[in-house]
Amino acid sequence: MIFMIRSTEAVVWMSLIAVTIFSWALGVQHGSTVVGHNTASLMVIALAVLKLRFVGLYFMEIRRTPLALRASFEAYCAFLLALLSSMFLFG
């Protein structure tokens, strides 16, 4: 069990679970008005792209691929974040 917790993939998996719970809490807001609707929605979008990046890097092994493939994946994540955010704000 300790070996499983010490592996990078297990730590990333637990982080993905934590980010999922946090984004769910932001989405439903539980009656809290700490952040506005637009801010919470943009944070959920950013967290979704962050989760995509973690899955790509750690579970699809993109972090160990040639630099060109990793750079294109990172650019894709940045483009996706910009596209989804602009669609939400201006669409």
Mean pLDDT (10-residue bins), the chain, 91 residues: 75 95 83 72 95 97 96 98 96 82
40 and 29 Cβ atoms separated by less than 8 Å: yes
Q: What pLDDT does residue 22 have?
A: 93
CA–CA separation, 54 vs 73, rounded Å? 11
Q: What pLDDT does residue 34 have?
A: 65
Range of the domain at 8: 2-90
| Neighbouring residues of 9: CB distance < 8 A, sequence distance ≥ 6 | 58, 59
CA–CA separation, 77 vs 52, rounded Å? 8
Q: What pLDDT does residue 48 have?
A: 97
Number of domain units in the chain: 1
Q: What pLDDT does residue 33 have?
A: 59
Q: What pLDDT does residue 3 have?
A: 63
Residue 28 carries which side chain, given as an amino acid letter? V
